[in-house]
Amino acid sequence: MLQFLGRLIANRPSDPPIVEYLSKAGAEAVWRRGRLLAIDPQGASFEVRESNRHFVECLPWGSIAAVRVPLAVDGEGTANGPERRAIINLG
């Protein structure tokens, strides 16, 4: 999984991919959306936007239940339906 996410970042260094991740950092798990900035064996960093401000959220892998990666750019659904997503289940 780290290799897959690492390749996403390496292939787009000036435009990090937008992903959705299931954050368990709060009292309840919530899906969040952000740019995947960095990964390492301890966790991942995401650029998130809240109240028109940008933040970097650094989470250990224990606080990330899953990562959803679009297989097509937003808005580029196929004639057969909406875009597909790869879901990486971490828990």
Predicted confidence band at 82 (pLDDT cuts at 50, 70, 90)? low
The C-alpha atoms of residue 41 and residue 48 are separated, in whole angstroms, by 21
Domain chopping of the chain, boundaries = 2-89
The C-alpha atoms of residue 40 and residue 32 are separated, in whole angstroms, by 20
The CATH class of the 2-89 domain is mainly beta
Predicted confidence band at 71 (pLDDT cuts at 50, 70, 90)? confident
Say if residues 66 and 91 touch (Cβ distance below 8 Å).
yes
What's the pTM value of the predicted model, to 2 decimals?
0.74
Proportion of the chain above pLDDT 90, given as a percent: 54
Q: Which residue has the higher pLDDT, 56 or 1?
A: 56
Nearest to 2 by CA among 71, 91, 90: 90
